[in-house]
Structure 1
Amino acid sequence: MRSSIAVRAPRGLLARVTLYFAGIVVVLFLSQLLCAAFGLPRAAASLGGWA
């Protein structure tokens, strides 16, 4: 199982950095949705600016 995961992992540095940035954008987007759901429009707008 572990070797199959290692085979599917991104190989280059650029691929890893791209995945890290994509993950950060997803986290910011989910945070924006949570802020909007809990009625914090200013926080949601500022998070949207970062994403």
Structure 2
Amino acid sequence: MLGIYLSGTGNTKYCVTKLVKLIDASADVVPLEDEFIIDKIKRNETVILGA
């Protein structure tokens, strides 16, 4: 599972992190601006997007 967020103030980051970790404690959470985002999306079956 992968959580992706776009957050200017940090609120969306907090919410996506909280949700993803409740579902799967070992999941990654990364910003949309991450330079390796495409590779991370391809490696995960489930992606949660918060914007």
Name which structure has the greater RCO, CA cutoff 8 Å, separation 6+. 2
TM-score by length of 2: 0.35
Structure with the largest fraction of helix? 1
Structure with the largest fraction of strand? 2
Q: Which has the larger radius of gyration?
A: 1
